[in-house]
Amino acid sequence: MLTICLLRHGETAYNADGNKYCGRTDIGLTEKGIQQAKRMNELLKDYTFDAIFCSPLQRAKLTAEIASGKPESVQIDDRLIEVDFGSWEGKRPAEFQAEDPESWHNWLVDPALYKAGRSGESAAQVVDRLNSFYSELLEKYDNKNILIVGHNGINRFFMTSQLGMPLRNYRKIVQDNSALTLLTLSKEEGMNLLKLNA
C-alpha cells in the first residue's frame, strides 16, 4: 500500500486573475504561491518521502521543490501535466462559456466523452494517463511514502475515478492552491481518502 501526499501547485497569475484556465500554459508562481509552498513545507516537515514526483510545468516543479525541501530529489513525470483545455486555455470561465456554450455544456454533461475546449483532452484520456502513472507507482514503491505535486484538474479527475464517481462530478472535489490531500492506494483496496484540501 502506498501513502501519498497529493498537492496542487501554489497560486499563479492566472489563478489570481479571475481563475483563467491554465492547463498547459507554463507560467510560474506568484509571490503568494511561493508563500503557500513554504507553508506546505512546514506542514510536511514530519513526513519522510521515499520519492517525490511532479508535473513538468514550472508551477508544479517549484511547488514540489519548496514543499519537499529537497529540490534535488524531485522527479518530473509528463503524465502529471495538467488537462489540455483546448480553446479555453488562458480564458476566464465566463469568457469561453459565452463564446461556445455548447462545448461547455457537453463538458459538464460528459467530460469522459467530450474534449475540453473542443480540441483539448477528454476526462477519459486524462484518467488513462494517470492510471498508467499510479499503476507504475504501485509496482515500484509499494509500502512507501510518496509526495506528488500536480494540478487541480488532474488531481480531481484521479480522485473522482478512484472513488467510483461519474467523472462529470469532478468539480465536487475541492483542492485549493498548495492544498494537501492525503490518501492511500493499494491494488486490493484502491484509494482510501484520509484528508482532503488541508
Instruction: Clarify whether 82 is annotated catalytic.
Output: yes
Residue with cell 480540441: 119
Catalytic residue among 82, 89, 121, 151: 82
Q: Nearest-5° angle of CA 124, CA 127, CA 130? A: 155
Return d(Cα 142, Cα 114) in angstroms, integer: 34
Q: 151 catalytic, yes or no?
A: no
Ordered alpha helix ranges (H), the chain: 13-16, 31-43, 58-68, 93-99, 101-109, 123-140, 152-162
Q: Residues 6 or more apart from 178 whose CB is under 8 A from it?
A: 7, 8, 9, 10, 11, 33, 36, 37, 39, 40, 63, 67
Q: What is the DSSP letter of 163?
A: T
Which of the following is catalytic: 9, 65, 89, 121? Answer: 9
Buried b / exposed e across 11-37, counting CB within 10 Å, b at 16+? bbebbeeeebbbbbeeeebbeebbebb
Positions marked active-site: 9, 82
